[in-house]
Copies of this chain bind each other. A is one copy, B any other.
Amino acid sequence: MKAAVVPAFNAPLEIRDVEVPEPAAGQVLVKIEASGLCHTDIHAAHGDWPVKPKMPLIPGHEGVGTVVAVGDGVRTPKVGSRVALPWLGKACGSCRYCIAGRETYCLRPAYMGYTIDGGYAEYALGYASHVVKVPDSVSSFEAAPIACAGVTTYAALKSAAPQPAETVMVVGVGGLGHLGLQYGKVFGCRTIAVDVEDDKLALAQALGADVVVDARGDQQAQVAAAGGADIALITVPSPKVMAAAHAALNPLGRLVLVGLPADNQVTLPVFETVLKGIRVQGSLVGTRNDLADCYALHAAGRTKVIAEPVALEDVNACFDRVLAGKVPARLVFDLN
């Protein structure tokens, strides 16, 4: 099968012909139809983070396709089902976090396209327990970005317990942000979109943002004029951006972090945090329930996916485009 392989940290990816893997007990083999490109894949290929991925690596945690074979003991999903292979490849099911319904914080997880091979290939293995069914009315192309960009922002907002009529500020209107903005609406909130590029600001407007803030100007003044933010969802992994969003929060505001900056340190003011009762909280992707919810919401017409189909052969050029910020919200490898 064709696969895009990272041979070593920081080396360009290679399009290789590798053997189709066989599903072991509990696994399913999925013929990939669409596979989203997440910035995390680039960090993985570069070995940017404290915990390193397997190497060589087939990246990808937004793979969607059809089950073509199942391993021993697998009763569901059946061959022919269409499923997503998200970041959380597998959770143990028996640590206190899994038992408590917080499987993304599992003590013994497998991560797709990181600790195990992912969806940048014609076929990929997933665990039957953790692949998530895609509704018939949701195309694989649209299902792909929802598998990570969607569920990550959805679960992040959910962790902040948004209440209707609260104001959600989404910083960065890219792959994550354009979906986060729409989830803000799903939670009944008023939304403020923040970006520094004209096309992103236009996209935010088109997606129904109540207020659009051009951060090339005075972000703080614009957000304050809009009544401040109760929740700020940061999809731009920059400590400076996080601190600016912290300053824009109302009392009892929540600053939600999902992205990992190269520079791992964020500096925040204690006085304002205490006096305003502010919360700064990290959130990691979402559970199987969260992803099923995201698909149900999409099937119900409550979200739109903005993405561009690209060829897997162009993976290195695509990485360059993402690094240069020259992409619509998401690039999705078309493997049909």
Chain A interface residues toward B at CB < 8 A:
49-51, 76, 93-94, 96-97, 99-105, 107, 129, 154, 158-159, 163-165, 183, 186-188, 190, 210, 237, 239, 242, 251-252, 257-261, 264-284, 287-289, 292-293, 296-297, 300, 302
Contact = CB atoms under 8 A, between A and B. Distances in A.
Contacts of A289: 96, 99-100
Given A186-B188, A187-B164, A258-B274, A99 B288 contact: yes
Contact of A266 (B101, B267, B281): B267
A265 B257 contact: no
23 contacts: A93-B129, A101-B101, A102-B252, A107-B251, A158-B163, A159-B277, A163-B293, A164-B293, A164-B297, A188-B188, A257-B274, A259-B270, A260-B270, A264-B271, A265-B267, A266-B268, A267-B268, A268-B268, A273-B281, A277-B282, A277-B284, A278-B282, A279-B280
A234 to B, nearest CB: 9
A270 B282 contact: yes
Given A237-B270, A266-B268, A282-B277, A297 B105 contact: no
Nearest 10 A/B pairs, CB to CB? A101-B101, A274-B282, A273-B282, A165-B293, A105-B251, A186-B188, A279-B281, A280-B280, A100-B101, A267-B267
A266 B257 CA distance: 16
Given A251-B97, A261-B270, A269-B264, A282 B293 contact: no
A13 B217 CA distance: 47
A264 B247 CA distance: 14
A257 B270 contact: yes
A116 to B, nearest CB: 17
Q: Which of A50, A102, A274 has the most chain B CB within a 10 Å cutoff? A: A274
A261 B273 CA distance: 12
A13 B281 CA distance: 41
B296 A165 contact: yes
A162 to B, nearest CB: 9
Contacts of A270: 237, 239, 242, 257, 259-261, 264-266, 282
Nearest to A281: B279
Contacts of A165: 292-293, 296-297
Contacts of A279: 279-282
Contacts of A259: 270, 274
Contact of A282 (B186, B276, B288): B276
Nearest to A102: B252
A164 B190 contact: no
A257 B273 contact: yes
Given A190-B296, A259-B274, 12 more contacts: A99-B288, A100-B287, A105-B251, A158-B164, A164-B183, A164-B186, A164-B297, A261-B270, A267-B268, A273-B281, A274-B283, A277-B283
Contacts of A49: 271
Contacts of A258: 274
